[in-house]
């Protein structure tokens, strides 16, 4: 076994990425304050060919040095749009046929592993602020809520970790 060199990975170019088929998932960041978490969302979206990222409220937008530090150029490949009001972004996505999925602990949230992602359905995954979570306005507009079951002493994961787990799980379920 040997570690592969960058040239051996066979990655596509930014132009090829933009033209490639995407999974029918978009990500909405609801008032995410950490620019590193924003950059990580871009990098994860690039890795799994997510359609688009919606940045809302206080969420930072590219170009920004701190976002680039973790995005490693993914802000150039992944489409994104900014909305001042998260609820307006959610309403727009609903009119475009997206199922709005908040990733939050609610009275009705489903454990991630039990959720059946339909291959031909469009999903928007909403991730919230690091302290306050997904806004009440976005929760009120959601079609469903998912949570990652946790069994330790903490009640949540860092948003970048949570986003990676949820996007991978939906990608896996929709691609296999």
What's the number of CA atoms in the CB half-sphere (13 Å) around residue 99? 16
Q: What is the H or E stretch that residue 139 is in? A: helix 136-141
Domains of the chain are 13-175 (3.40.1280.10)
What is the pTM assigned to this prediction? 0.96
pLDDT digits (tens, 9 = 90+) for 96-141: 999 999 999 999 999 999 999 998 899 999 999 999 999 999 999 9
Question: Pick from 38, 47, 59: which is nearest to 17 by CA?
Answer: 47
Residue 158 contacts residue 133 (beta carbons within 8 Å)? no
Residue 54 contacts residue 29 (beta carbons within 8 Å)? yes
Res. 176: pLDDT tops 80: no
Q: Please give the structure tokens belonging to residue 3.
A: 């570690």
d(CA 132, CA 155): 12
Task: Tell me the three state secondary structure of residue 162.
Answer: helix
pLDDT digits (tens, 9 = 90+) for 26-52: 999 999 999 999 999 999 999 999 999
């Amino acid at each position: 076994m040997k570690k592969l060199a960058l040239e051996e990975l066979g990655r596509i170019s930014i132009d090829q990425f933009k033209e490639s088929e995407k999974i029918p998932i978009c990500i909405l960041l609801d008032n995410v304050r950490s620019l590193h978490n924003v950059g990580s969302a871009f990098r994860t979206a690039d890795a799994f060919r997510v359609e688009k990222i919606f940045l809302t409220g206080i969420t930072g937008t590219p170009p920004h040095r701190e976002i680039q530090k973790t995005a490693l150029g993914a802000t150039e490949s992944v489409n994104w749009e900014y909305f001042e009001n998260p609820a307006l972004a959610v309403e727009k996505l609903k009119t475009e046929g997206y199922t709005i999925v908040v990733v939050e602990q609610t009275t009705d949230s489903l454990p991630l592993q039990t959720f059946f992602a339909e291959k031909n359905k469009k999903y928007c995954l909403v991730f919230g602020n690091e302290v306050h979570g997904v806004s009440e306005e976005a929760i009120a507009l959601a079609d469903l809520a998912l949570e990652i079951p946790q069994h330790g002493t903490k009640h949540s994961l860092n948003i970048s970790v949570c986003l990676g787990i949820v996007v991978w799980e939906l990608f896996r379920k929709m691609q296999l």
